[in-house]
Every structure is written in C-alpha cells, then in structure tokens.
Structure 1
Amino acid sequence: MSKVIKGIKLRLYPNQSQREQLWQMFGNDRFVWNQMLGMAKERYQNNPNSLFVNEYGMNYLLKQLKCEYAFLKESDSTSFLVVNHNLAQAFKMLFRHRGGYPHFKNRHSLRQSYTGRSTCKVLARRRMQLPKLGSIRTSKTGLVGDANIKRYTVSYEPTGRYYLSLQVETEVNQLPEMHQSVGLDMGLADLVISSDGVKYGTFNAEWLEKQAVRWQRKYARRRYLAQCEVWKWNHNRFDHLEELDDYSNWQRARVNKARCQKRIA
C-alpha cells in the first residue's frame, strides 16, 4: 500500500441560514484579500524602497484586523491564512516576472469560494461537519471513507449550486500487472473502438447546444435591458441608486445558460 493525495468533489445542500453564512464567509475572505493588497499597494506608493510584507507579516496583521472588524470572527480563521499564502505567492510570481500584479476581488464575481485547513469530518451517510457551519447535507460521502482530510474548499458555481472540494490523503492498493495490452481508435461514428471490438458511443449534445444558444441570447438581451433601466433610474438620483444585481430576470437566464454549458462540457 502507498499513500497518495487526491481530490474529492461533493455537492452541498445548505439551508437558508447556512447559505447566508456562506456568503458572509465568501465576503470575509474577499475583504481580507483586498485589505492586504491595498496595504501592500499603499506601502509601496509611500516608500518604493520599503521591504515587501511577507506571508508571516500578513498573518501577524490578522490579529489587529480581527479586533477592528468583528465580523471576521464569523469565518474559519484558517481560511485567512490561505488567503495570505495565495497573495504572497502571487507577489512572488510577480517578482520573478512569471505573473501580473494581483487584482482586487469583486463581490459581483460569478464564482465565489474560500479554502480552510481546519478539521472537517463525515457525520453520516450524507452529512458532514464543517467549521462554523456545523452539520451540512452533502452527496456521496462514501467517497471520503477513512481518508485524512488535509484541506477543504467551499465554492459557489455560476450554475447556482454549492460544492465542497476535499484534498485527502488515502492509501491505495497497487493493482496487479496483467501483462496485457489493448488498442484504442478514435472514430467519427463512435467515440472509441477498442482492439477487442468494444465500441463506446458519443454524447449527443445537439439539443443542449441549441438550449445554450437560446439562453445566451436571452441573457444578453435581458442584461442589456436591465442596464438601460439602471441608467434611467440612477440619472439625477441620489437617494436610492440601483445596481444590476437588483434585476433577477437576467440572473435566471445566466444560471440556465451556465447549467447548459456545464452539461455540454
């Protein structure tokens, strides 16, 4: 037996209170990223010869940040360590001329996520224990088994669904060598034809492609109309300004378009 690191992706089914808490945790990670990035940018503008604040220095600043902003205590504290690590790695790639300057994160992004290193475990067949969230309903927890969970990532996809990605360390049994070979031929009528005569058919996505094109047109049209309404409402108004997210019609088209595209992919 040998130990390997592999990933497992499960779907989450949070209730209403857990969804609200998840979005708070998404926002907290985004807030810490923007605060640390803004601090580094302002520090360089004030003194270009100043030393870069490394990952250890950013972790030390987290204590003061939590005292100043109490809502940060609602998140898993290890997720902020991951944020600082990712930001420090981004600056290292910048200094090595292997990447661009890090950007500020926007709350209007279609995909939201956070990563933690705290302990999470399987409670039941379709239940997992996550930090700050408690017991949450999932799918296919049998895939985890007795594996050691290293880190976890909770994400919100453009399709409107929540997912849990686990990085686990598990033992695998080496399969015996059969000393046999098989040839595979990529075809047009069939996806793959093996040398022993087995045929594997293709996936017919013609109907889904039509649906994706249809929802793409609806999405573009509804988003343009929503933008026009926002411009009209916000013209010479200062009491209550609307945003594009206030219109749910184009958001439904965005979700349906994303689901069709994901099924095709």
Structure 2
Amino acid sequence: MTLKGLKVRIYPNKKQKLFVQCNFGCTRFVWNQMLGMMIERHKNNLDAPFLNAFALNNLLPALKKEYPWLKEAESTSLQNTNHDLVEAFKKFFNQKHGFPKFKSKKQFKQSYQSKCVNQNIKQAALHYLKLPKLGVLRFRSGKPIPETIKSVTIRKTFTDHYFAVLLVEDESQVFRKTNACIGLDFGVSDLLIGSDEQKIPRVRFDKRQSQKMHDWQKRLARRRLQAQKEMAWDRHNKVLQPRKLSDFKNVQKAQLMVAKIHEKIANQRQNYLHQITTKLVKSDDLIVIEDLKAKNMMRNHKLARAIANQAWGEIRRMLTYKCAWYGKKLVRVNPYKTSQICSHCGHDDGKHELAVREWSCPQCETHHDRDFNAAKNILTLGLGQALVKEL
C-alpha cells in the first residue's frame, strides 16, 4: 500500500462556502498568533527551548477561550496549522527555506487541512463526499476514491473554484518491465530530447492565449486607473467618500478574467506534462535526467521566460513520484560537459556556444547533434550511477 494524493473538484453550497472561508481565516489567525508568540518568547528568553507541535496544540484551548469564534473552526485543521508552523521552523533551521512569515488574507492561495477521525471523511454516495463540518457535498473526479482516507486539504483558487486533495492509501500499481532505458536532455527549443534521438516538442500555451490576455490586462489597467480617480469622490452626492477597489464591479470582472486565463494556461501545461511523464514511465524502466539549476539559468534575461515555461522542475517532480509509484527507476546526473564530450569516443571538444547546434568530433570524426549527444552522455552517466548503487 502506498500513500497517494487524489485531487477532486468539489461544489459547496453558499453555507459551505461561508464555512470554508471562515476556516481559512481561523487557521491563518492561529498561524499568526503562534508565530508572533514564538518570536516574542525567543526575544524575552534566548535560552528558551523550541516548542514542538504538541506544546503548541496544548495552547489551543486557552486561545479558544480568549477568542470564542475559533471554536467554530474544524479542530484538526488548527492542529495541522501548528504542525506546519513547526515544520517551517525546522526547514529554516536546516537552511532550506527562509524564516516563516505572517500570513495575509490577500494571499493568492488559501487552504486548510483536516485529519480523518472516526470516518468523518468518506465517500457518502457515487458523486458525493462527506467532509468534517462541511457535511455532504458533490464532487467530480476522474478516478474512483479508495476506501482508506488519511486526510483532506480544502483549497480555493482565485477564480472561486474549490478542490479537495485527499491523502489516500492505494495498492501499489507496477507497470510491466520493458528493459528499456532512456536519457533525457532538457531543452529550450524542444521540451525534452531523448537518447533514442526522439524529441518531445514544447507547446507555448501562453502564446495561444497571449492576445486574449493582452486585451483583458489592458482593460484591467484602464478600469483600475479610472477607479483610483473615483475612489475618494462620490459623484452622485458630491462628497468625499473613501471606497475600495472591491466596490468597483468592472475592476473585479477584469481581475477574474485575467485569473481565468492564467488558470487555463497552467491547467493546459499541467495536463501536457502529465501525458508526457506517464508515457515515459510506462515505456522505460530506467529514466536518467540532468540535475539542472533552473534558478541560476533564469538569470539570463533573454532565455528566462522560455526556461520558466518549460517547467523543468515540475517534470522532475512528476517523474520522481511516478517512478516510485509504478516500480521504475529515476537517476539524476550532473550535466557538466555533457554537450561537449563525444558520446562515441569520449573526446572533450571544449565549450560550444549555444548557436552551435551540430559539430563533428576531431578524433573519431563522428557528426553529432548537440542535443542528441548530450542525451546519450546523460544516459551513460546514469547507467554508471545505477550500477554503482546496485553494487
């Protein structure tokens, strides 16, 4: 049995939407209160021991007495907030992330997590799901939901779409062995280049929506500028009256349309990457990829947009968990000199400029395509690493 995340679209009614919004506020309030308390505690006593999640959970009853409206929130979601805060501090201490920050209600992503206790999370009917304090609500999923559910994360997007991410126990599914292996080189003009001399093309979903995006962004800019002029002046009563951007419906409509276009681009890209990675995991037993530092590469402003649209980090993440799920092997190698070493004889021909797409080895006279040669070298390095691990 393996743990998997299953994302389903849920359709709450008005009362359920109100509760979800209130629970977002409660978890955000607990996060900020606990974070502020830990900061003050450290300032007052530098030798004070670090509080774990259990100690923070013991403070919740007192916090609920001080703020009675916290009792309306789902209790396990507040405990998970304390756990997430402790994990954020641990990552800071290990120098993997920055110092935990206070949360704002204006943040783009809003979510909370609830644990499954006494079957309070289960599939009530064919297309209905029972969630803690929300009750029964309709959902849509492309896959059947397993019986064992560990937890659920409720998320809301800026476009007012609600999702439930279920952590479930599922049987390990292993794809049949093909005894095939492939090395993958990440590219800019092409998404992936394989050692079998096959190229997976890139699709610029952002360019397909560029004109529509440009039109709505211009409308949003004009409407926001006009709203800012009218925010402090009520033309009907001819008096000064402070207003907010949320009071202007045309501004809200333009913001929503821009967000919908961004969401569509992200969904299209995500679907395309899922199709590619699943096909690779099915067809190959060993997949070797290069361990690129995309953050450093994006410092090149001429290629930054193209590199960001390739989503190399997302491809690596998908291949990592899919190989673990389906019994395949993924190896990451250092891409140092993979494009300048001859894959036939191993001769180092020196650094080539990006404009040089083909070259011939001066030692063995083999003509190379730059990307295919790099993919073959990546596969060779990966096979060596896999053999060393087995030994």
Q: Give the TM-score of the pair, scaled to structure 1.
A: 0.81
2:21 matched residue in structure 1: 23
> How far apart are the structure 1 equivalents of 2:122 and 2:171?
18
Task: Report the residue type matching 2:77 in the other structure.
Answer: S
- 1:5 pairs with 2:3: yes
- 1:113 pairs with 2:105: no
> How far apart are the structure 2 equivalents of 1:125 and 1:187?
44
Identity of aligned residues (%): 38
Flag the 1:100–1:200 CA change in 2: closer, same or farther, 3 A: closer
> How far apart are the structure 2 equivalents of 1:106 and 1:263?
25
- Give 1:222 deviation, angstroms: 2.8
Secondary structure of residue in 2 paired with 1:32? helix
- Counterparts of 1:113-192 in structure 2, within 5 Å, are 113-118=111-116, 119-140=120-141, 142-146=143-147, 148-178=148-178
Flag the 1:202–1:57 CA change in 2: closer, same or farther, 3 A: closer
> How far apart are the structure 1 equivalents of 2:169 and 2:56?
29
Q: Is the 8 A contact 1:122 1:141 kept in 2?
A: no
Q: Give the TM-score of the pair, scaled to structure 2.
A: 0.57
Which of structures 1 and 2 has the bigger CA Rg?
2
For CA contacts below 8 A with separation 6 or more, give which structure has more relative contact order: 1
Paired residue total: 256
1:96 matched residue in structure 2: 94
> How far apart are the structure 2 equivalents of 1:84 and 1:263?
33
> How far apart are the structure 1 equivalents of 2:91 and 2:52?
13
Task: Report the residue type matching 1:166 in the other structure.
Answer: L
- Counterparts of 1:51-90 in structure 2, within 5 Å, are 51-90=49-88
> How far apart are the structure 1 equivalents of 2:241 and 2:155?
32
Alignment deviations for residues 169-198 of structure 1 (CA, whole Å, 9 cap, x no partner): 10134333355789999999x99999xxxx
- Give 1:152 deviation, angstroms: 0.9
The runs of 5 or more residues in structure 1 that have no matched partner are: 234-238
The runs of 5 or more residues in structure 2 that have no matched partner are: 235-239, 267-391
- Give 1:103 deviation, angstroms: 1.2
Secondary structure of residue in 2 paired with 1:172? coil
Q: Is the 8 A contact 1:5 1:167 kept in 2?
A: yes
- Give 1:261 deviation, angstroms: 1.6
> How far apart are the structure 2 equivalents of 1:37 and 1:184?
43
- Give 1:200 deviation, angstroms: 9.1
2:210 matched residue in structure 1: 209
Q: Is the 8 A contact 1:215 1:257 kept in 2?
A: yes
Flag the 1:176–1:141 CA change in 2: closer, same or farther, 3 A: closer
Alignment deviations for residues 5-47 of structure 1 (CA, whole Å, 9 cap, x no partner): 2111111111111111110111010011011011112223333
